[in-house]
Amino acid sequence: MRNLWDEADCGSDDALHCCVYGSRLLGGDRSLVLHGGGNTSVKADWADITERSVEALYVKGSGWDLASIEVPGFTPLPIDRLHDLLALDALSDADMMGELAAARLRHDAPQPSVETLLHAYLPHRAVQHSHADVILGLTNVADAEDTLAEVYGDDVVVVPYVMPGFDLAKAVQACWDEQAHEGTVGMVLRHHGLFTFGDTTREAYARHVDLISRAEAFLDRVAPHEPPAPSEAAEVVLTELADLRRSLSAAAGRPMVVSRHHDDSIGRFVARPDLADLAGRGPLTPDHVIRTKRTPMVGRDVDGFVAAYGEYFARNGSRSDDDLAMLDPAPRVVLDPGYGMLTVGATPKDADIAADIYRQTIPVLERLEDGRGGYVALEEGHLFDCEYWDLEQAKLRRAGAPRELAGQVAVVTGAASGIGRACAAELLDRGAAVVGVDLFPAVADAFAGPAWLGVTADVSDHAAQADALRAGVERFGGLDVLVVGAGVFPGSSPVDGLDLDAWRLTLSVNVDSVAALFRDAAPLLFRSPVGGRVAVIASRNATAPGKGAAAYSTSKAALTQLARVAALEWAEHGVRVNVVHPDNVFDTALWTDELVAQRSAAYGMTPEEYRRRNLLGMEVGAAHVATTVAELCSDRFGATTAAQVPIDGGSERTI
């Protein structure tokens, strides 16, 4: 491990600012900290509003990521009060967190880490804690005590596994009294991670680097990890993946996102003959269990996994004094020689977190199993305690109630601009994972975040459109919502001056591409865990054509008829197909200021009057269309199919 500390980057001698800097160094290394794991602290004075000084512990607040933490992410607490709590013989989790919350010296500070009392106990100003992979590699073996002694001698205090909280702080006290001495530079918590400390964060970080490096050198010597050979991913049958997603969603009791992952490391791991045994022993640390479940599902037998999870719950439910309700039994990681690795989550972010964790897990399992005589996980009772620990569940509850379309997957064509982009934005806002398809490369970066996948493709190229659909299904697992937004308007031309090339292009984009998309998407929509929903963006011209727009009006009329036939045929599969007919949506690329000026002059109106030339006297925008589309794809319109909805402010021609 490289020491990345740079005084110029740190830029301050202030103890808290140095702690922030050191925390970011620690949190920026994925082999040390993943998704909320780890915590840091520093002891420094706190001055209240009366300028009275109190000796305080500034500890990482719950919910903050070490990689990006800032000063407000540290909670100041009075050291004396923390020592009072440490003097107690027993303290429940609820009482401990209540006392810590009440002791905060800043009213708006976050809830402090569950390991606050441990930080308070350690007799050093600065403390850093990580869940380092290599430390777990030293402790998740049968001869962990001998291994730690060989690597560190008596430089570190070794603590057996105890669940974080008051009991762990008391266990550390006992082990510290027995093992610590003037030369102690760190502390290893078995199946948990590494603590280092010092008079400054810089010193604590340097000790972290040293102890990690010593572990790396040892493992490289006794259990070298060979790089995997190149491994090609098999092409998955999309309907099989959609079927599996439907089964996983049924097990979870809600629609789930399923993301496929494959690289050389995953390919080698899923090809192991002992895959089920090795992967079935448990996670590297109990902290992972709320994200990955205790074990992955090996293969595709969802019913078998669900039954096994129920047995696991029955075996361990009596460990708690509380009346526990079983969590959903759906796996969060699936390992399969054909698929590679699938990760499952209520949102794409959740699925990605599971992927990040298991990618880090694979090389540790391989190294310990193949080079250290066997991987040994924590026994399942302790894992169960952590999975059903209320303080761990609180981490998930902080995300709040799921949004309306959480877990659902949408494909939107024409998503780089105009109505298509507005529809994508509305679906994202309602919680859907969205695949945006557009001819323009800007679609890739139209939105940020794990719920967005932008794919550049010309919808009139049927193979390219099918590839875009495949990319979306492999990223999110299936298809629930399809919004047809791609389209072209070739410009005005009378029928007797019709440009046949423009005619063919218009029908190719506006009709032929949708026929191909419907053909390819139908089997996926049929397998939606919530019932497929389709919204087709046609036009007022489909029902009330205008002069000079033969190609456009004809194509939109044909598109509407195609949607009506699809509604007739797909209803038996639970798929709803509805059409919207916008008119004069001026905040799109089609309507430039020059075109509005030209058209308004032809009608003897000002541009403002022209924009509002409808019965309601309002300007219709892309957001109006997007809201209607999203509503038609929601459960509120669960009894509606084959509808045609105008979005035009009221048009006498349409009426």
SS (H, E, C) 239-274: HHHHHHHHHHHHHHCCCCEEEEECCHHHHHHHCCCC
| Res 392 pLDDT > 80 | no
> How far apart (Å, rounded) are the C-alpha atoms in residues 135 and 144?
10
β pairing state of 433-438 and 533-537 = unpaired
How many CB atoms neighbour CB 572 within 10 A? 8
Among all chains, which residue has been given the structure tokens 């699925």?
Answer: 351
58 classed as catalytic? no
Q: What is the distance between the alpha carbons of residues 56 and 594, in angstroms, rounded to a whole number?
A: 65
Between the two ends of the chain, the Cα-to-Cα distance in Å is: 72
Per-residue pLDDT averaged across 236-260, rounded?
Answer: 98
**Confidence tier at 246 by pLDDT (50, 70, 90):** very high
137 three-state secondary structure: helix
Q: Which residues are CB-contacts of 13 (< 8 A; sequence separation ≥ 6)?
A: none
Please pick, among 152, 312, 339, 552, the residue that the annotation labels catalytic: 552
Amino acid at 650: G
Q: Tokens at residue 149, please?
A: 């002694």
Per-residue confidence (pLDDT) for residue 12, from 0 to 100: 87
Contact between 507 and 435 under an 8 Å Cβ cutoff? The reply is no
Q: Which of 183-187, 337-341, 397-401 has the lowest mean pLDDT?
A: 397-401
Whether pLDDT at 529 is above 80: yes
Residue with tokens 């892309």: 622
- The structure tokens listed for 648 are 């035009």
Q: What is the dihedral of CA 156, 158, 161, 164, to 10 degrees?
A: -50
Position 122 scores a pLDDT of 97
**Angle (CA) 50 52 57, round 5°:** 120
Whether the Cβ atoms of residue 602 and residue 551 lie closer than 8 Å to each other? no
DSSP annotation of 511: I
How confident is the model at residue 344, as a pLDDT? Answer: 98
Closest alpha carbon to 378 in 614, 142, 208: 142
Find the mean pLDDT for residues 474-493. 94
Confidence at 592, pLDDT banded by 50, 70, 90: confident
Domains of the chain: 7-222 (3.40.225.10), 238-397 (3.40.225), 409-591+621-647 (3.40.50.720)
Note the residue count of the chain.
Answer: 655
Give me the residues paired with residue 39 across strands: 129
> Stretch 544-565: mean pLDDT, rounded?
95
* pLDDT classification of 396: cutoffs 50, 70, 90: low
Q: What angle do CA 406, 411, 415 make, to 5 degrees?
A: 110
